Every structure is written in structure tokens, then in C-alpha cells.
Structure 1
Amino acid sequence: MRIALGAAKGLAFLHNAERPVIYRDFKTSNILLDSDYTAKLSDFGLAKAGPQGDETHVSTRVMGTYGYAAPEYVMTGHLTARSDVYSFGVVLLELLTGKKSVDKTRPSKEQSLVDWARPKLNDKRKLLQIIDPRLESEYSVRGAQKACSLAYYCLSQNPKARPLMSDVVETLEPLQSGSSSCANEVSLASSLIGVGRPLVIGNHRAIQMHHKFVQTVGAGAGCRSANPSCSPGPPTACRVR
């Protein structure tokens, strides 16, 4: 969870700047890791100044990476900070499942990771079926449920139903083991940019990192919103805190 938290803090820092910045191409290969698995965002080439004042979105040519871009952005070119939240949900889903966002070698119904996995994320009977089996059940079931619930809301088709990145950070922090110390280990600035090796799902190193990621999931956080059980329902906003 430390990787996810570091990346989330970087996005939250951008979104909460005096002039908000939308990253626009958030994906695993743009997350760099140092030797301690501290996450830093890289490659700001597609970053875009966000809406201000009464603006609801920024209209722009659709750019980014297939499998990570938010559906409303792909369809309309309307870009908001919630577009980054969707992309974060895809990366979180990759970390939980150990699968790539798009893989043409998988059966047709499983080629899109979001389409295959999202319906299972909020079903306690099914969500454990999508957790990377290579972890051999060495993780907190309750913690995995919390992480899956967070991914479920980040991947909402309705952008207004997605949490803010600041809410994502608040949800992830208690899911650390030893959350009181981990919360201070990854500062906003160090989460924003740096050098290191990219996070790539699917190779041996990624499996090792993913094992570390899920094994440290704790049981201390919930999703508090107008829908406190975070069960499927109408597309109302769920601010995960």
C-alpha cells in the first residue's frame, strides 16, 4: 500500500495546488520507485492546468494511454481532476490483481481489466477471486476489502461518484501497517517527482513489490460517505475518507 499511497499523495498535491494541475497520463510506468519502494511521479509531458473559478472542465485533445484514460474524457475531451482519479483506480486494480490494464492474450471477457474486475470489487463473495493468487492468501482479508472498495469508487463511470484524491489519501493512510509512521515517510514533495525504476505489472520484480503491497494492508480504515456501506447504488458522490 505504500506505493499506492505515495502515488496518491503526488496526485493530490497536483490537484490541490493554487492552480490545479491534471496529470492526464497516470499509469504504472509513470510511477518510479527507489530502493525503499518510495513512489514518485514522472513524465509530466501531458499535464494540463485544471479548471478554475466557474469552469467545470478543461476541453482538450484526447491524449493519454488506452486502458487508463477515463471514459468521459475519451468520449468528450472534457478533462477534470476526476479523470486522474479513474486512472489511479486502474493502477490500484493492477496492484491488487497483478494483471495489466489491457492484455489481448487473456480471454475476450478478461482483456479489459476494469470491465472484468470492477463488478466483483464490491461483492464480498467475489472480490477475493480477483486478488493475485500468487499471494497465497498472505494478506488481511478486511484490508483487501477496503482497498477493493476504494478501487470500485475510483472506477465509477460517473466522474461525480469518484472520490477526490485527498479522500483517497485519507483512506489509504490507515491501511498501512504501522500507519502512524508510514504517513510521514512519503512527503508530498518526494511523491511528486524523482528518479528510479518504473513500476511495471507482470514481471518478477512487480510480483515481489505487489506481495509487499498487499501483505501490509491493514484493517483500520473505512469508506465513509452518504452511502456508508459503500454498496452499489445510484451514482451519487462517494467521498472516501
Structure 2
Amino acid sequence: MGFLPSLYGCLKLKRKVNEGAVKGEEEEEGFSTQDLFFKFQTLQIATNFFSELNQLGRGGFGPVFKGLLPNGQEVAVKKLSNVSKQGVREFTNEVKLLLRVQHRNLVTLLGCCVEGPEKMLVYEYLPNRSLDNFLFVTDKSASLDWSRRFTIITGIARGLLYLHEEAPERIIHRDIKASNILLDEQLNPKISDFGLARLFPGDDTHFNTFQITGTRGYIAPEYAMHGIVSVKTDVFSYGVLVLEIVSGKKNLDSKLDNGKPGLLSYAWNLSQGGNTLDLIDPSLQKFNRDEAAMCIQLGLLCCQANVADRPNMNSVNLMLLSDSFTLPVPGKPGTQGCARRRTTTSSFPTVTGSTSNTTGATKTSVSSGSDFSRNSISVSLIDEGR
């Protein structure tokens, strides 16, 4: 395959960076770049010959299996489907992208397997699997208390900020959704599945495409209708995901809004009627009122129809980390069935000052719209038949 030589070089560079290797150290340590290329037979044995009992899930790329390596390390093996027409391209894309990035809120690529028709990615294994397995399962959603949900919201935001502004080159994920957020032992989130991601070298900020990829309900309207991709594409998906985490409801739910599917319109109508907190997941018996209201408003801000009015991930992180702030009033959310190009600009958000917390870290206050305080007491919900 044409990408194999470059992949070999990238794996070697990644290993040197991760291990702090410099010229000449490979020979001294007995290091071989082949350590990052797994043998097919090794992965066969590790996954009990890709047994259905070991299968963790299945996506457009192919199935994912839990494996146990000879050294006792648990891994997740993503196996390229032989019938997937786009699989090879997605495989190459994911490897090249993940070799460029390292962050605590991104899943870690351990290596890959390329033998004949077999192509696989090997990741760290995360025992709690994906967020949707908790969020939308009745007997598990209660284990996601408000503190954990807020930690997940902020962790995903940090991961996206890294991809958009701090990685060696800007990366747009294009498929942010609950099933692509994996949870570690402490339920900390890690963004996964970079098969559809797009690398933005240099100063490029957006591109147009005729091939729309992603998941219905999470796709930004300007992308769905006009093929325009930018960091705001991920921001829109993130906003939908925030509303799902707060509400415990899927973004396309026929039980919402008098039988009309759409978490966005449901959340918007509640906010317009002054009933924002009615969106909160009924399984949350205790939650921080201001924090929850802020997250709902933030989700709506990220999902605005006007691309220019959506915050970037740096602004999102400022809002989430600030002790006190005022958020702008969100405009009407966009839908995939109705998107308009607009060229208006917005001031979003306005930095008004900074304070230091007890750890010495600097926190910034942002302003304009609704006031929130992180120091408000928790609220206990009494069952009101919702």
C-alpha cells in the first residue's frame, strides 16, 4: 500500500516523541519501530479469534473487539470491515491524525496491524466504553450524577480545544456524538473515532465539500445544506451533545415536543418559555442550578443557526472554567432542514477580567447576557410527575 512507508515513519517519530528518544537512543535501548505494528496472529489470540463475546461495538468502519495482549495489557482492536468501500481511506486518515496528537481527553492509539487484506487499529482499552451506554440506558444513567456530567462536558471541551487550536495542526473531528466519547475508569471522557476527521494545514479555516459525512442530528446546518466545514461544525455537534448530557435524552426523540423529534427545538422552546431547568434529566435528584442552566444556555449558543454567533472552543472553555460570568442570549438554533448563509459578525464572548482560584490558576470572567455563579448551592428535585 502506498501509505505504509509514510505510516512507518510516523510511527517511528511518535515512539521517539513518547519515549523521549533522540538520535542514537534506539540502538542503545534495543527499540524497534515494529513494536508499534501488531502481528495479525497476536491480535487473533488476544481477541479469542475476534469472538462475538469480545465485541465491544460496531460502526461504519467495522467491529471493535476487546483484547488481552501476552503482557497482560487490555486493548481495544478496531477491525476494518472488508466490505467497507471507504474503510481504507478512513483507516489511513485515523492513523495519520492520531499519530499527530496526544491529549488526556483523546483516546490513545497504541499501534496498528497491516497484513494482507487485514487492517486494524489498536487502542487503549477503556472499561466503561462509550458515553451513550450510560446516558441513554435507564439503569445506568443514574450513576452519572451532576458532578460527573459536568466533568464530562468540560473534558470534551478541552479535547476539542486541543484539536482546534493546540494540536500541531488544526483538526476538525466531524463526528462528535455520545457514542464517540469513551469513558475511562473514573468516567473521564476521551474523544474517539477519527475516521471522518479533517486536517487543516497552515492557516486554512474552512473548506467546501459535496460529500456530507457524519451522524444525523449532530450535523451543523451549513455543513448539511452547503457542505461548509469549519471548527464551528464541531461546535454545533458539541452543543447538541451538551444538551443530551444535561437532559439524558437523545437528540432525535419522538417523545419530545408533542411527538415532533428534536432535542434542539424542545430545549429552545423551554428556554423561551422560562422553563429551562425542565430539560434536566429526571434521574438527577441533586444538581447545581446555575451550573445546569449555564450548560443548557451554552448548548443552545453552540447550536445557533448563524455560524458567526457560535462561540469557538476557546470561548466555551472560558465559560466553563470561569467562577462568575454572563453569557450572551442565544439565537434560534439551526436545523439540518433549514440553513442560511449569513455574514454578520458577533462579539463572542467579551473578556471583562480575571481572578485567581485557590490553586493559583487564572480564571477569566466573560460577559454579556445571563449571570451565573459557580458557588450556588445544589438543588434537590422533588418528583413533580415529569
What TM-score, normalized to structure 2?
0.45
Q: 1:235 to 1:92 in 2, by over 3 A?
A: farther
Q: 1:163 aligns with which of 311, 315, 326?
A: 311
Distance in 1 (alpha carbons) for counterparts of 2:321 and 2:299: 15
1:32 aligns with 2:182: yes
User: What residue in structure 1 maps to residue 198 of structure 2?
Assistant: 48
Offset, 1:124? 7.7
Identify which of 346, 351, 371 aligns with 1:236: 346
Change in CA separation of 1:107 and 1:156 when aligned onto 2, cut-off 3 Å = closer
Q: Does the 8 A contact of 1:22 with 1:48 survive in 2?
A: yes
SS in 1 for 2:283: helix
SS at match of 1:49: strand
Aligned with residue 128 of structure 1, among 277, 289, 292 = 277
- Paired position in structure 1 for 2:291: 143
CA distances 1:191-240 after superposition (whole Å, capped 9, x unpaired): xxxxxxxxxxxxxxxxxxxxxxxxxxxxx34245xxxxx23569835337
What CA distance in whole angstroms lies between the structure 1 residues aligned with 2:218 and 2:259? 18
Task: Give how far 1:56 is off.
Answer: 4.9
- Residue in 2 that maps onto 1:199: none
In the other structure, the counterpart of 2:159 is 10
Deviation at 1:106, TM superposition (A): 4.8
SS of the residue corresponding to residue 9 of structure 1 reads helix
C-alpha distance in structure 2 between counterparts of 1:102 and 1:51, whole Å:
34
Report if aligned partners of 1:14, 1:21 keep a CA contact under 8 Å in 2: yes
TM-score under structure 1 length normalisation: 0.70
**Higher relative contact order, chain-length normalized (CA < 8 Å, sep 6+):** 1
Please tell me whether the aligned partners of residues 109 and 116 of structure 1 are also in contact (alpha carbons under 8 angstroms): no
Report if the CA contact (8 A) 1:127-1:148 is conserved. Answer: yes
- Measured after TM superposition, the shift of residue 141 of structure 1 is 1.4
How far apart are 1:67 and its partner, in Å?
Answer: 0.4
Moved more, 156-165 or 105-114: 105-114
CA distance in 2, matches of 1:145, 1:25: 26
CA contact (8 A) 2:309 2:346 kept: yes
- Report if aligned partners of 2:257, 2:266 keep a CA contact under 8 Å in 1: no
Query: Identity of aligned pairs, percent?
Result: 36
Name the structure 1 match of 2:231. Answer: 81
Q: Distance in 2 between matches of 1:39 and 1:92?
A: 13
2:217 to 48, 67, 72: 67
Equivalent-residue separation in structure 1 for 2:221 and 2:205 (angstroms): 17
Moved more, 9-18 or 71-80: 9-18
CA distance in 1, matches of 2:207, 2:162: 19
Which deviations, in whole Å up to 9, do the C-alpha atoms of 1:23-52 show, x marking residues without a partner?
000001000001101111111000002375
Secondary structure of residue in 2 paired with 1:139: strand
CA distance in 1, matches of 2:266, 2:347: 23
Partner of 2:50: none
Larger Rg: 2
Name the amino acid aligned to 2:194: F
Higher helix share: 1
The AA in structure 1 aligned to 2:270 is K
What are the Cα deviations for residues 159-187 of structure 1, in whole angstroms up to 9, with x where unaligned? Answer: 1111111111122234xxxxxxxxxxxxx
Is this contact kept in 1: 2:264–2:300, CA < 8 A? no
SS in 2 for 1:69: coil
Residue by residue over 1:132-167, the C-alpha shift from the partner in whole angstroms, topping out at 9 and shown as x without a partner, is 12213x112112221122112101111111111111
Q: Name structure 1 gaps, 5 residues minimum.
A: 175-219, 225-229
Give, in whole Å, the separation in 1 of the partners of 2:259 and 2:324. 32
Partner-residue secondary structure (3-state), 2:292: helix
Q: Within 2, Cα distance between the matches of 1:160 and 1:154?
A: 10
When the two chains are superposed, the root-mean-square deviation of aligned CA atoms in Å is: 2.3
Map of 1:58 onto structure 2: 207
Between the aligned partners of 1:124 and 1:111, the Cα distance in structure 2 is 19
Q: Which residue of 1 aligns with 2:89?
A: none
Residue by residue over 1:100-129, the C-alpha shift from the partner in whole angstroms, topping out at 9 and shown as x without a partner, is: 0112455655411112212434x4821011
